[in-house]
Amino acid sequence: MKVYIFLILFALMFAACSNEKIEITSDYIINEFWNKDDEQVGANSIQVKKMKVKKDSLLNPYSDLSQAEILSKLEYDSSFIFVANIKIQPGESYKNKKIYFDKDNGFYWWTDHGNRKTKILGKLEINNWYEISNLRPYPYYIIYIDSTDTAHNFDINVANY
């Protein structure tokens, strides 16, 4: 048990010291954490889920939201859940590789049930919430696209919840 706790603490400290970044906008994602080898099972994947505020709840993305408040007031919109295995071509840089929502990236986005695929998701819609996950082991990200097309990012680390 002590070894397990030590490993978790070490991983958290390592992640905090890393100067790699994740940038999420309504148009694209840059994720410097993607695996450079690109061949591991599940490596370089992404999941995008549309979220909606639960009935009889209010959630102000401009306030200082706690993780508990975000998790308790949002639920998944099952009409928009897509996953993709990101393909990085040999010689491409991971540092600035943009994965676009509204352009063909050379791979398919699949629904979570695998029965529908598309090359282009489309720009993330304004005044909507999204969960972006699988960018790294933790945390995952809840984002809100406001009316000016600005993404407000909230890190969610369920290990702290």
Residue 2 has a pLDDT of 54
Q: What are the strands of the beta sheet with 98-100, ordered from one edge? A: 22-24, 28-31, 98-100
Domain limits for position 38: 2-160
Residue 7 has a pLDDT of 43
Residue ranges for the chain with pLDDT beneath 70: 1-20, 35-43, 94, 137, 158-161
Total tally of structural domains belonging to the chain: 1
